[in-house]
């Protein structure tokens, strides 16, 4: 049974991963990691994708049609199934994840940070990006988020942890993709992540680095083009995966992670996992 960390870099399209993340690509080249293309659900909207990533249920079933449609979801998800199996979970994410999988609506003082043994998210550390706009992203420093997740690993001994950051999604909405701003943002993210990833591996975690959806040349997503839907999934671990040219189904992510954790997959997750 493995411990697993899921790193979601919001809104990074396939081309940017393969072009700009030199450390991740270096680990693929050296054999430490494997990479596949994954395709998001439809609509390729953030909140919709978060719900499907963690429940393995399609939007046409969970009904999260966009970012304004939020509630505490009633389906089994990675947190609920892991904690039911006696594992400890952690989240360092945008507040939507707390709303979907623990409590809705998000009460900023009550829910910004919680430690709730017996709850679905055992250790939660959240941020809201309140007031974000095209002028001010309101995104936390990614190194702070990576450090917070590492802290949960070291101090709380989490078995499953998710980290989610909107920095690159916000950069894409502001500056699009064929520009120095995006080159620099991905370059810095890749280095920040690379400073932590070996620590997580040394601590015994398998690590998945991926996105929730892509973005097109105008920084848009939500629709059905491959630019808006497709992103890379990097996997550091001992599991066996499919051939390199297989396009992974986003609905397979939740059952895959439960499989690696050694936790039973609920009937609501109908797509097979992709790691054996």
What Cα–Cα distance (Å) separates residue 151 from each residue in 20, 60, 70, 141, 166? 28, 37, 29, 16, 20
Task: Give the whole-angstrom CA distance, residue 241 versus residue 151.
Answer: 30
Binding segment toward Zn ion, per CB under 5 A, in 10-18, 121-129, 196-204, 237-245 = 10-18
Q: Site mask, Zn ion, residues 53-92, x = CB under 5 A?
A: ----------------------------------------
CB of 83 or CB of 167, closer to Zn ion: 167
**Using the rule CB under 5 A, which residue among 99, 212, 216, 227 binds Zn ion?**
212
Q: Considering the rule CB under 5 A, would residue 230 count as an interface residue with Zn ion?
A: no
Instruction: Report the nearest approach of Zn ion to the CB of residue 159 (Å).
Output: 26
**Using the rule CB under 5 A, which residue among 40, 44, 46, 150 binds Zn ion?**
46
Q: Considering the rule CB under 5 A, would residue 222 count as an interface residue with Zn ion?
A: no
What Cα–Cα distance (Å) separates residue 104 from each residue in 73, 139, 157? 9, 22, 26
Asked if 165 and 8 count as a contact pair (C-beta separation under 8 A), the reply is yes
What strand order describes the sheet that includes 89-94?
Answer: 113-115, 123-127, 89-94, 160-165, 3-9, 205-210, 230-236, 34-39, 247-249
Binding segment toward Zn ion, per CB under 5 A, in 39-47, 84-92, 132-140, 223-231 = 39-47
Binding segment toward Zn ion, per CB under 5 A, in 156-164, 168-176, 182-190, 193-201 = 168-176
Binding segment toward Zn ion, per CB under 5 A, in 43-51, 98-106, 201-209, 239-247 = 43-51
Q: Considering the rule CB under 5 A, would residue 10 count as an interface residue with Zn ion?
A: yes
CB under 8 A, 24+ apart: contacts of 129-135: 129/94, 129/166, 132/170, 134/173, 134/174
Q: Between 180-202 and 142-151, two packed helices, what is the crossing angle to 10 degrees? A: 10
Residue number closest to Zn ion, CB atom: 46
Binding positions for Zn ion, rule: CB under 5 A: 10-11, 46, 169, 212
């Amino acid at each position: 049974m493995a411990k697993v960390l899921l790193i979601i870099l919001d809104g990074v399209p396939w081309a940017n991963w393969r072009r700009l993340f030199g450390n991740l690509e270096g680990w693929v080249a050296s054999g430490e990691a494997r990479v596949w293309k994954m395709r998001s659900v439809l609509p390729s909207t953030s909140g919709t994708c978060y719900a499907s990533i963690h429940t393995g249920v399609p939007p046409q079933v969970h009904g999260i049609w966009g970012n304004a449609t939020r509630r505490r979801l009633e389906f089994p998800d990675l947190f609920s199934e892991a904690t039911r199996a006696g594992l400890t979970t952690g989240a360092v994410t945008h507040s939507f994840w707390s709303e979907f999988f623990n409590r809705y609506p998000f009460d900023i003082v009550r829910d910004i940070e919680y430690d709730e043994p017996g709850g679905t998210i055992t250790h939660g550390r959240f941020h809201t990006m309140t007031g974000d706009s095209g002028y001010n992203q309101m995104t936390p420093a990614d190194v702070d988020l990576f450090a917070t997740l590492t802290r949960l690993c070291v101090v709380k001994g989490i078995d499953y942890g998710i980290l989610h950051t909107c920095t690159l999604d916000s950069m894409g909405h502001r500056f699009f993709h064929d520009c120095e701003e995006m080159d620099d943002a991905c370059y810095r993210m890749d280095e920040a992540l690379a400073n932590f990833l070996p620590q997580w591996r040394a601590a015994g975690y398998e690590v998945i680095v991926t996105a929730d959806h892509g973005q097109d040349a105008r920084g848009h997503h939500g629709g059905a083009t491959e630019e808006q839907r497709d992103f890379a999934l990097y996997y550091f671990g001992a599991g066996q995966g499919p051939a390199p040219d297989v396009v992974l189904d986003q609905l397979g992510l939740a059952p895959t992670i439960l499989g690696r954790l050694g936790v039973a997959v609920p009937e609501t997750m109908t797509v097979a996992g992709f790691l054996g």
